[in-house]
Structure 1
Amino acid sequence: MPSEGAVFTAWIVSLLLGVVVIVVVALLLAAILRTVRQIDAAVAQIWVAGQRIANNTVHIPLLHETNRVAGLILERAGGIDGAAAQIEQHSGVCPSCPRCALAPGGVVR
């Protein structure tokens, strides 16, 4: 049978080891909590940036319609440019252009 002093020493050593383990676990939990807070702050910044990107890019699909309309405008502008060139050419060779242009069926050619 162990002596009373040996039992007392075993209890003290066990209690001290328990305290050391508890302190180490508490420090590790504090480090985990600090890391979790840092990750949460970074995720919040990423979320805000993602929302800003989404707000700035929400209209991109409408660019297809804009491109289509711009193509139609370009086609019409080409026709207008051609007609203006014909008018300019005709006005250089026809001294009575207003009468020619206003005559029945007077299409500038």
Structure 2
Amino acid sequence: MEKQEIFDKIVEWESEAGEDFLDYFDGYLRANNFMFWCMGRRYISKENFGLWEAEWRKSKLEAECANYYVCSEDTPYAIVKTDDRYLEDDWKKAYMIVAEFISESPTYIRRFTKFLEEGE
């Protein structure tokens, strides 16, 4: 499954569910896997990864909840920093990064497929 197809399925799911995808997919997404991958892809700096990791080790909500670490107004290590999380360009950028991450891992493609099949 390619990233554009995954992105389109996320958009379709949100449209049908009337809910935020990350609110529901968060349980399938492992923050440490995603953030380490983002650092490798240079979506996040090594310094911000270290900041996120320190918060994650303390079980801080912002470090564990995808709605904060993927796209946020006030989380310093968010992958996409925005003035408003619901600005279309920022939202698309954030979800395209999530779709890219999913598309590159057979494990996450399976998790995503299961998520869609179960109609979370």
Give your verdict on TM over 0.5: no
Taking structure 2 as the reference length, the TM-score comes to 0.18
User: Which has more radius of gyration?
Assistant: 1
Higher relative contact order (CA 8 A, sep 6+): 2
Q: Which has the higher helix share?
A: 1
Calculate the TM-score normalised by the size of structure 1.
0.20
